[in-house]
Chains A and B, each alone.
Chain A
């Protein structure tokens, strides 16, 4: 069974830069997995941030960017703001109609 891995938690200072990653328990993440990233605050529905590795969804600030770093997908927040404090989830498409979410990263801005 494929497991998508994310850091459980991360901390960043206001104005700082943080990179969250999304990996596979076995193998490397590539663009063919169509990595996407979602932001969720408590009690709210997820919000789509990034799709197809590095394309920002409509209305998403350019301080959010996506990439492949080594063997993982990555979400970088440059110039973090207080309202970036959220949970962040990546999703990888495994083919055959199946998508798998990572466990999520709880980001603290302090």
Chain B
């Protein structure tokens, strides 16, 4: 059974940093693109970042470029999101999502999310 379990969320002050983790199990982690998707309170879903299987390609939504870094450790079956210079508008539930294998691009499995609150 595919499982994605996020951790690392919490309360952080504006300008602070936080590192999210996603522990993957039930599939060959190193064979899949992985993504972070977030949802601000009462708002819609927003794709944040993608990372290729070997970490050689990374893509970000414009609003987090230069502040967030996606990474992975295939030996540990783990995905990460390093978030620096956090702003109030980064407050959201952050979901780890697996991008389906192959040419067709979509998210086929989701974690339950971890809440990040940026506030003084």
Contacts and interface: CB of A to CB of B under 8 A. Distances in A.
A104 B104 contact: no
A98 B100 contact: no
Contacts, number: 64
A1 B62 CA distance: 10
Interface residues of B, number: 24
The binding surface of chain A is classed by DSSP as: strand
Interface residues of A, number: 25
Interface stretch (B9-17, B19-27, B82-90, B108-116): B108-116
B108 to A, nearest CB: 6
Interface in B70-120: 95, 100, 104-113
Nearest to A105: B44
A93 B105 contact: yes
Interface in A71-110: 87, 89, 91, 93, 96-104
**Counting chain A CB atoms within 10 Å of each CB, which of B46, B62, B110 scores highest?**
B110
A99 B58 CA distance: 13
A52 B105 CA distance: 8
B27 to A, nearest CB: 14
Nearest to B52: A97
Given A48-B107, A97-B50, A100-B47, 12 more contacts: A36-B106, A46-B95, A48-B106, A48-B110, A51-B100, A52-B106, A93-B105, A97-B57, A98-B50, A101-B44, A103-B44, A104-B44
17 contacts: A36-B105, A36-B107, A40-B45, A45-B112, A46-B37, A48-B106, A48-B107, A87-B44, A91-B47, A91-B106, A93-B106, A97-B57, A97-B58, A99-B35, A100-B47, A104-B44, A104-B45
